[in-house]
Structure 1
Amino acid sequence: MNVTTKTEIQQLVSTEEWQLRVDLAALYRLAVLYGWSDLIFTHISVRLPGPENHFLINPYGLLFDEITASSLVKVDMNCNKVIDSPYAVNPAGFTIHSAIHEVREDIQCVVHTHTRAGVAVAAQKGGLLPISQQSTFVWSSLAYHDYEGVAVRDDEKARLQADLGMANHLILRNHGLLTCGKTVGDAFLSMYGLETACQVQLAAQSGGTELIHVAQPVLDGVAEAAKITLKGGGSFIWPALLRKLDRIDLSYKD
């Protein structure tokens, strides 16, 4: 029997898991508000606490503004559903997210997007350029992964894991953007910074004049300053973002 209602799910999961479901559903709704969604074709996932290596991912077929806490699909590392659900899981989304959750026990949330700005920068040979303050915050924790086609092959996992390493920002060349965070709020903030840096880069390039690159010593200094400036940034901003959502639509909590 498929379990789909809020009451049914809450009876089966811990209080901690339910809160993570609410936070993840909120992030899906925020992705719509900030223009990060791509119909049903990208994914945000959350690792659940415990030794079982379970995580939550979006139900394939729902738009991001339809996703609720109870509709999220709970799966194991082999893409087996842990709780019955009427929804499928996108194999490409599972491949990318399970690869990262498998080796990055320090992170809880993974965000992957196909935004116009993100894909445009991912298609540029030079990648993200150090031309804005936003890019300097990303620079010290940025990695790249070459495009290998739709991510449905298990053998790509090892290369994806090696390319990401311990970085929290990943540009998937010709594909899009990906960020990791120790919390849902941290992952959101990392994607906000990376996406904004890409938008600024395209805007600057459209001016048609020579761009000023931030010097390496300054980049190094910003990296150190970012550890102080952004420390706890996700947890600091997340309650404000939830209040924003609550003013718009409370249904993500269902």
Structure 2
Amino acid sequence: MNAPHTPSSVKPLVSDAEWQMRVDLAACYRLVALYGWDDLVFTHISARVPGPDHHFLINPYGMLFEEITASSLVKVDLQGNKVMESSYDINPAGFTIHSAIHEAREDANCVIHLHTVEGVAVSTQREGLRPLSQHSLFPLSGLSYHDYEGVALNPDEKVRLVADLGATRSMILRNHGLLTCDTTVAEAFLRMFFLQRACQIQVHALAQGADVIEVPGAIVAGIQQAARKVTLNAGGNIAWPALLRKLNRISPDYAD
């Protein structure tokens, strides 16, 4: 494994649209690390490169999320071949999951997959995510599940993963972790924030050993309309600019 390093900027070598996607994706990696959702060098966040080619960006295997920059991201095709020079390889298990979703879902420009403690804990619970909090209502409005099949190295699993995901944008991978996807990095991150926070709340609530109160089904059913009002129809962009300002204050090198 190569030692971590800061590659020369690839900004002059790519389109403005790709560079912006690189910056947003690197910011997402840094935010995941900042919130403590990372798992050493494991798990992945990927983003489709704008343009006609089916290329996407993913983390260099062996770098901590807090080290990742816009220039260090690895560009690959749907077969996992690097299409731009990089001294880093990619995690084959991560490629299996992310390439399956990017290939099948045109709206999945960003895919986030995490192994948070609370997310894995809820993934082991037979009932899965329960409507115990306001946070839980957002992912519950469109949540899917995928049964565990071992480390994701079998290409045949792609078909089953995509079928289980369907048209949803939030998924719990049984005995494994959490996944969100959306049209932008900002949207996918906000979905993950609510999914992870809902799992965190559920773990704490059930740990009390007391009876819990679930939100009525009618309220769960109406949450999407309420979410549009709360975010002023801005979706993930209601919080993304503020998150970038935070990163620019504490670790601006993500955009290098």
Pairs within 5 Å for 1:133-212:
133-212=134-213
Match of 2:132 in 1: 131
Pairs within 5 Å for 1:18-167:
18-167=19-168
Q: If the length of structure 2 is used for normalisation, what is the TM-score?
A: 0.95
Q: 1:57 to 1:191 in 2, by over 3 A?
A: same
For residues 253 and 228 of structure 2, the distance between their equivalents in structure 1, rounded to whole angstroms, comes to 35
For residues 214 and 35 of structure 1, the distance between their equivalents in structure 2, rounded to whole angstroms, comes to 28
For residues 229 and 165 of structure 1, the distance between their equivalents in structure 2, rounded to whole angstroms, comes to 26
Q: Secondary structure at the match of 2:241?
A: helix
Alignment partner of 1:240 is 2:242: yes
Query: Residue by residue, what CA displacement relative to the aligned partner does 1:99-156 show, whole Å, maximum 9, x if unpaired?
Result: 0000110121110100000000001011000111011111111000000000011000
For residues 243 and 227 of structure 1, the distance between their equivalents in structure 2, rounded to whole angstroms, comes to 24
**Aligned AA (1:235):** N
Alignment partner of 1:221 is 2:222: yes
Q: Is the 8 A contact 2:109 2:184 kept in 1?
A: yes
Query: Residue by residue, what CA displacement relative to the aligned partner does 1:51-93 show, whole Å, maximum 9, x if unpaired?
Result: 2110000000000011011000000000000101000000000
**Aligned AA (1:148):** E
For residues 108 and 237 of structure 2, the distance between their equivalents in structure 1, rounded to whole angstroms, comes to 14
Identity %: 60
Cα RMSD (Å): 1.2
Which residues of structure 1 form unaligned runs of 5+? Answer: none
Alignment partner of 1:251 is 2:253: yes
For residues 216 and 182 of structure 1, the distance between their equivalents in structure 2, rounded to whole angstroms, comes to 28
**Aligned AA (1:136):** L
